[in-house]
Amino acid sequence: MLEKRNIRDHKRRLLAAKYELRRKLYKALCQDPDLPSDMRDKHRSKLSKLPRNSSFSRVRNRCIYTGRPRSVYEFFRISRIVFRGLASRGSLMGIKKSSW
C-alpha cells in the first residue's frame, strides 16, 4: 500500500514539473486585467483542461521509507520517527543525538 502511495506521489511530481511553465503562463494570462475578457476566458478554459495532478498543490511530501504523509523533514524526505531511529543508530552523516 505504501509503495502505491509513493508511486502516485512521484507521478504527480513529474506531471507538475512537466506542466509547470504552461500552468503559470495560463494563470498569468487569466489574471491580467489588461486583456479582453474573451481572451481571459479562453486561457481559463485551457487551464482547466490541464490534468488535475499537474498542480503542485496536489503533491504531498511523503516519507520515502514508510509513506507517512505528516511530519516529514523536507531536506531528508523522511518522517520524524524514521529520522529518530536512523539518527540513534548513527546512519545519518553529521547527525548525532544532543545531550547536555
Same domain, 40 and 76: no
Q: Cell match 479582453: residue? A: 36
Same domain, 67 and 82: yes
Tell me the residue range of the domain where 94 lies: 63-100
Same domain, 80 and 98: yes
Same domain, 73 and 96: yes
Q: What pLDDT is attached to residue 22? A: 92
Q: What pLDDT is attached to residue 98? A: 76
CATH number at residue 5: 1.10.287.1480
For residue 1, is pLDDT > 70? Answer: no
Mean pLDDT, the chain, whole residue set = 88
Q: What pLDDT is attached to residue 19? A: 92
Q: What pLDDT is attached to residue 2? A: 65
Same domain, 28 and 68: no
DSSP state of 5: H
Cell of 67: 509513506
Q: What pLDDT is attached to residue 72? A: 92
DSSP code string of 12-79: HHHHHHHHHHHHHHHHHHHH-TTS-HHHHHHHHHHHHHS-GGGSGGG-----TTT---SSEETTTTEE
Structurally, the chain folds into a number of domains equal to 2
In this predicted model, what pLDDT tens digit does every residue of 78-98 receive, in sequence order? 999 999 999 888 888 888 777
Cell of 85: 531511529
- Asked whether the beta carbons of 11 and 52 are under 8 A apart, the reply is no
Cell of 44: 481559463
> What number is the average pLDDT over the span 49-69?
89
Same domain, 70 and 38: no
Same domain, 56 and 71: no
